[in-house]
Structure 1
Amino acid sequence: MKLWDHPMSENDFRQCLRIATGATLGFTICKLFGWNYGVFFTVVPMLLLGMVPVMSAHAARQLFAAAIVCGLEVGILGGLFGGHPGIMTLIVFVLFLYKFACMSKGPLFLFGANSVLSLSIMLHFASYPGVDLNELIFGNLLASVLSVIIAYLVTFLIPDAEPRQPPPRPSEPKGSHRMRHEALLGASIATLSFLVFQVFDLNDSMSAQATTLLLLFPMHWNGALGYARKRAMGTLLGVSFGVAGQLFLYDWADMLVLIIPLLWIGAMIFSYMHVKESSGSGAGFGGLTTLGILFGQYLTPGNDLIFSALYRVSSIFFAIVVTLLVTYLVHRLLNSFEATRFHVAS
């Protein structure tokens, strides 16, 4: 498995600085103001700055749209049909279906990707007893607004050294068969993930649930298989850094002045890996999101990050194996039909 296939340029190094600084700023502001759902404020800047090398108004609009749409979906549909599991399952499938369709088409990939993660995380949090749904929705919206502001700020403070070349266009547009395959594959696995975490009441396995969705970002079976190995490696590295950080902090885990530089160093390391891989969702990106979840959600006074980290890594590895098995079965099923066959060009 080749990871380091991309030479590091000055622009790449500055992107690493933007990712690490942006995620740390989001985490710091959240903690200073005592806001809940620190995972949103830490992970969303990572996603935005990691997936969009150069911040643009188009990316900002997609992030805002994802937060608003997911908030309305969870608030209205979840409120109306949350007590009806059968209807809610069908609704969740439709919601995931159009989000993965946006990802498959390309121009709205960021909207679809952030919507998939936001919807999954908010549904996950909403399953906790006593959760304030309004606070959850506005917390996600605030995190998105803050992430866009942070992204523009770090882009202004740490600009690229030279203009970037536009990303290469695909040699051939995707066929309708492939887009249907990708949308149905993603929606099916995401809905099954939602059902499993609801039926078994896995309220404390957000990392594993996020992993089942991140595995789908390559949008096809071969990509999911390749990403699974990188995600497992990134998760192990992210958890190892979290455990080492907890041991280093020891009884000072509630001192923000010590946590902030530790998070920045970890984010910088995994940002470097992410940029060197140049593969979108790889080991570096997996380590980043794992680190963001651990620090943003579980590193709190009185909480044992080591137990959380070990529980996280075991649940993530189990989720990877099960998700790959189900993905392969759904992939084979969809390839049985002409209209949803992945390899057939239009």
Structure 2
Amino acid sequence: MRLWDHPLSENDLRQSLRIATGAVLGFTISKLFGWNYGVFFTVTPVLLLGLAPVMNAHLARQLVASSVICGLEVALLSGLFGAHPGIMTLIAFGLFLYKFACMSKGPLFLFGANSVLSLSIMLHFASYPGVDLNDLVISNILAGLLSVLIAYLATFLIPDASPRQPPPPPAEPKGSHRMRHEALMGATLATLSFLVFQIFDLNDSMSAQATTLLLLFPMHWNGALGYARKRAMGTLLGVAFGLLCQVILYDWTGVLLLVIPLLWIGALFFSYLHVKESSGSGAGFGGLTTLGILFGQYLSPTSDLVFSGLYRISSIFFAIVVTLLATYLVHRVLNQFAATRFSH
């Protein structure tokens, strides 16, 4: 597995700075205002600035739309069908299906990707009686709006050095059978992930839950297999950096002025790896999301990162193995039918 062999340009370095700055701004603003679910405010700017190197109105509309639509979906599903898990699961499958269909088609990939993550995580946490559903939904919508503003601000403060070349068009468009394969595989596995985390009451495994979904972003079996190895490496690096920060901070984790520089250094390091890989969701992106979850959700004056970090490693590795097994099985089943066969 070859990593980090992409030659860096000035634009790549500036994108690294934008990602790190965006993550830190989201984290800092959420902490200063005392907002809950800091993970949304830390990870969403990373998702936007990391997957889309050039910010534009089309991307902004996708992110805002995904946040608002997912909020409405979760509110309606939990309010109307929260006591009917069977019906709720079927509806969730339908929602995942159209989101993965958006990802498969391409132009709405960011909308689908952010929607899949937001819907799965919010549906899971909304099922617990102690969770304030209004706070959960509003936090996610606010994180989407704030991330768009942060992305524009980061782009204004740290613009590209030169105009970027548009990505080359695909050699040939995807066939309808391949898009059906990708959408059905993603929706099936996302629904299975939701069911597993509900059945086993895994309310403290957000990293593992996010991993089961991020593995699906390549949209096919071979891509999921390659990303799994990179995600495992990124998780190890992210947790190692988080533990190092805990050693440095000791019991000063509540001092924001000490936490912010460490988060920025870590985010910059993983952003550098991410753009150097130039492979979308790789080890660098895995490290970024791991760092965002650790700092955004688990770092507080009353808890530390040691247990959380070690727990993240074990749960993520287990999630990777189980998700890969399920991905392979679903891939084989769908390939048995010409209408859903994966081929170029």
Q: What TM-score, normalized to structure 1?
A: 0.99
Match of 1:319 in 2: 319
Tell me if the contact between 2:82 and 2:127 (Cα under 8 Å) persists in the aligned partners. Answer: no
1:280 matched to 2:280? The reply is yes
Q: Distance in 2 between matches of 1:322 and 1:221?
A: 14
1:304 positional shift: 2.1
Write the mapping of 1:1-150 to structure 2, written as runs, cut at 5 A: 1-150=1-150
Give the partner amino acid of 2:235. T
Tell me if the contact between 2:78 and 2:127 (Cα under 8 Å) persists in the aligned partners. Answer: no
Give the partner amino acid of 1:326. A
Q: Distance in 2 between matches of 1:209 and 1:270?
A: 21
Give the partner amino acid of 1:56. N
Write the mapping of 1:276-315 to structure 2, written as runs, cut at 5 A: 276-315=276-315
Tell me if the contact between 1:100 and 1:112 (Cα under 8 Å) persists in the aligned partners. Answer: yes
Give the partner amino acid of 1:36. N
Match of 1:175 in 2: 175
Give the partner amino acid of 2:322. V
Secondary structure of the residue aligned to 1:252 is coil
Tell me if the contact between 2:11 and 2:162 (Cα under 8 Å) persists in the aligned partners. Answer: yes
Q: Distance in 1 between matches of 2:323 and 2:79?
A: 29
Q: Distance in 1 between matches of 2:207 and 2:94?
A: 23
Tell me if the contact between 2:68 and 2:141 (Cα under 8 Å) persists in the aligned partners. Answer: yes
Secondary structure of the residue aligned to 2:251 is helix
Give the partner amino acid of 1:156. F
Q: Distance in 2 between matches of 1:23 and 1:104?
A: 27
1:127 positional shift: 2.8
Secondary structure of the residue aligned to 2:54 is coil
Give the partner amino acid of 1:39. V
1:125 positional shift: 2.0
Q: Distance in 1 between matches of 2:177 and 2:331?
A: 13
Q: Distance in 2 between matches of 1:102 and 1:126?
A: 25
Match of 1:185 in 2: 185
Match of 2:249 in 1: 249
Deviations 1:261-318 (A, max 9, x none): 0000000000000000000000000000000000000001111211001001100000
Moved more, 71-80 or 179-188: 71-80
- Structure 1 unaligned regions, length at least 5: none
Match of 1:230 in 2: 230
Q: What TM-score, normalized to structure 2?
A: 0.99
Q: Distance in 1 between matches of 2:251 and 2:128?
A: 29
Match of 2:333 in 1: 333
Moved more, 117-126 or 191-200: 117-126
Secondary structure of the residue aligned to 2:165 is coil
Secondary structure of the residue aligned to 1:326 is helix
Tell me if the contact between 1:127 and 1:203 (Cα under 8 Å) persists in the aligned partners. Answer: no
Moved more, 12-21 or 121-130: 121-130
Q: Distance in 2 between matches of 1:168 and 1:121?
A: 33
Q: Distance in 1 between matches of 2:121 and 2:197?
A: 11
Q: Distance in 2 between matches of 1:239 and 1:196?
A: 24
Q: Distance in 2 between matches of 1:181 and 1:210?
A: 22
Q: Distance in 2 between matches of 1:125 and 1:333?
A: 31
Deviations 1:172-198 (A, max 9, x none): 000001000000000000000000000
- Structure 2 unaligned regions, length at least 5: none
Deviations 1:142-169 (A, max 9, x none): 0000000000001000000000000111
1:5 positional shift: 2.5
1:129 positional shift: 2.8
Give the partner amino acid of 1:210. A
Q: Distance in 2 between matches of 1:246 and 1:124?
A: 29
1:78 positional shift: 1.9
Give the partner amino acid of 1:89. T
CA RMSD of aligned residues (A): 0.7
Tell me if the contact between 2:251 and 2:301 (Cα under 8 Å) persists in the aligned partners. Answer: no
Secondary structure of the residue aligned to 1:268 is helix
Deviations 1:197-240 (A, max 9, x none): 00000000010000000000000000000000000000010000
Match of 1:195 in 2: 195
Secondary structure of the residue aligned to 1:95 is helix
Q: Distance in 2 between matches of 1:335 and 1:78?
A: 34
Tell me if the contact between 2:254 and 2:301 (Cα under 8 Å) persists in the aligned partners. Answer: yes
Tell me if the contact between 1:124 and 1:206 (Cα under 8 Å) persists in the aligned partners. Answer: no
Q: Distance in 1 between matches of 2:259 and 2:12?
A: 25
Give the partner amino acid of 1:288. L
Tell me if the contact between 2:207 and 2:316 (Cα under 8 Å) persists in the aligned partners. Answer: yes
Deviations 1:11-33 (A, max 9, x none): 00000000000000000000000
